[in-house]
Amino acid sequence: MSPDSVADALVSPAPPLILDARGRDQYALGTVPGAINAGREPKGFLPSTGSGPLVLILKKGATSYLKRSWSERLSPYGYKISILNGGFEAWQAAGLPVEIPASGHIKPGSTPFIIPRGLCEINSPAQVRE
């Protein structure tokens, strides 16, 4: 899929799932808005049971073996897979928006929180306030 086609699909009523398979370091530097970091290895990615259109962002010069491996990993889950032509480099060259993910350690849609010290220590607080 061309970068412009992907950009058009993202604003459609049924946008595709975007998987960035370039690795965590490249993902952290910038990606297509809404993309999920899928890692580099298809074996390490566990797809959800959803289905529908999916756009895969691969490293520039990805081998046909890697493309086939991703397809074999995702197809059984019902995804209709397309690959972003030219990769993320083509997306940037087209002048399309880039998202810098806030953190790779927080699950999308979740809210991070801190458990106060003492609440997890044998069910008694470390400090008692009166």
Q: Answer yes or no: is pLDDT of 115 > 80.
A: no
* Domains contained in the chain, CATH given: 3-93 (3.40.250.10)
Name the band, by pLDDT with cuts 50, 70 and 90, for residue 107: low
pLDDT in tens, 4-47: 999 999 999 999 999 999 999 999 999 999 999 999 989 888 87
pLDDT tops 60 at residue 119: no
Q: Can you give the length of the chain in residues? A: 130
Q: By C-alpha distance, which of 14, 13, 21, 42 is closest to 84?
A: 21
- Residue-averaged pLDDT of the chain: 83
pLDDT > 70: percent of the chain: 78
